Amino acid sequence: MNLFKKLKKRSNELNLHSVSTGLFVPISEVKDDVFSQKMLGDGFAIRSNIKEVYSPISGVVTSVFPTKHAIGLKSETGVEVLVHMGIDTVELQGRPFEVFVKEGDMVIPSTKIADIDLAMLDVSNKQSDILVIITSGEAIDFQMTSSINVSANDLVGNIIFN
């Protein structure tokens, strides 16, 4: 028996935290068929009433879209998550977003990853839902534990690996 050999045991569960303060919305109720029909994966949305956006997981930033509307993350357990800010916001060319992370940065649920100009989204007639989508395609069971009104960093659900 080798006492010095460290084995990294993969957890069978990953906690998901609220990315902002506002109304928790099940993914099936988002007003965009690509998201509500889970074409990209399961998840949830927050209808934010503050500008700050935080990481939903502990992990690493894998991508920041050039239009700043989406940020890819990978958890310590290997699960890939997409934080998508607003609906149909790609055409705004990044104007309503200020991103504070870059590829390779380590994040935890209290890490502020972006700010959103909610007034600009409103004037542009864009939904301000911040979506958290599990995109890694693994066999998972997503369980929501959230109430309707949430604060940034609240535990809102978890992923159980099948």
Residue in the structure block whose two tokens are 């080798």: 2
Residues 6 or more apart whose CB falls under 8 angstroms from that of 122 comprise 128
Q: Which residues belong to the active site?
A: 84
| Beta-strand pair 149-150/106-107 | unpaired
- pTM score, whole prediction: 0.89
pLDDT: is 62 or 145 the higher one?
A: 62
**Length of the chain in terms of residues written:** 162
Percentage of the chain lying above the pLDDT 90 cut: 67
Give just the sign of the alpha carbon dihedral 22, 23, 26, 27: negative
What structural domains does the chain harbor? 21-161 (2.70.70.10)
Average pLDDT of span 50-73: 97
Amino acid occupying residue 101: V
Q: Residue 138's pLDDT is what?
A: 66
Residue 160 pLDDT grade (very low, low, confident, very high; cuts 50, 70, 90): confident
Strands ordered across the beta sheet of 97-99: 52-54, 112-116, 97-99
